[in-house]
Amino acid sequence: MARPRKPLLSTDRIVDAARALVDAEGLAALSTRRLAAELGVSGPSLYNHFRTKDQILEAVADSVSAQVDLSMFDAPADGAGRDWRTALHDWAVSYRAALREHPNIVPVLARGPGRRPAGLRLADAVFGAMVDAGWPPAQATSIGALMRYFVMGSAIGSFAGGFVDDETAYDPADYPHLGQAHLLAERQDAVDERAFETGLAALLDGLAVQFAQLPAAASH
């Protein structure tokens, strides 16, 4: 019987393998030699698709940006105005979910979109939706930056996960208000999710107040 053929090396296959490696072991684990070994190919064959490791990292970062849902920014079919607050909320939730699936690539994403297509589409969608909703361009830019800071910060680490589950670690004599802190680690997901939703609601409430004070807001 003929031996099964190896899948042809492709850009998508390289990016998928690199993303899996970064997810599992972090940015430091990624090298062209290691990636080639994971793919079962020779190192030089990668250079037919990417010239450098940094280009591979950029592609991995963009593949994560591409996972963020942007459909909430589409113009309504009935021609009604966009509900910018709901759209911004739903986008932030989708954005955070993508980053939490791939937290090790967040430092690369934090550099900004640069020339990455999916990252630029993301920035374009948020900015365009805010301007179309009635925000002045300068404030729409600030909103995009603000939301990016907030979502990335929430995805880069866990507040609750930073506490140990040893109740003897937090002596009341030293930390009188941390008597229950040892319980945070086992409730990490719930605590972090509630913190994210609390912060997101506070941001959106504040933006809604600012929006109501815009001279042109009443016309949108």
| Tens-digit pLDDT profile for residues 193-220 | 999 999 999 999 999 999 999 985 544 4
Reported as a single tens digit per residue, the pLDDT across 82-105 is: 689 999 999 999 999 999 999 999
CA distance 30 to 176: 44
CA distances from 60 to 13, 115, 206 (A): 11, 13, 34
* Cα distances (Å, whole numbers) of residue 70 to 5, 48, 76, 123, 208: 38, 32, 13, 10, 21
pTM of the entire predicted model: 0.87
Q: Which amino acid is at 188?
A: Q
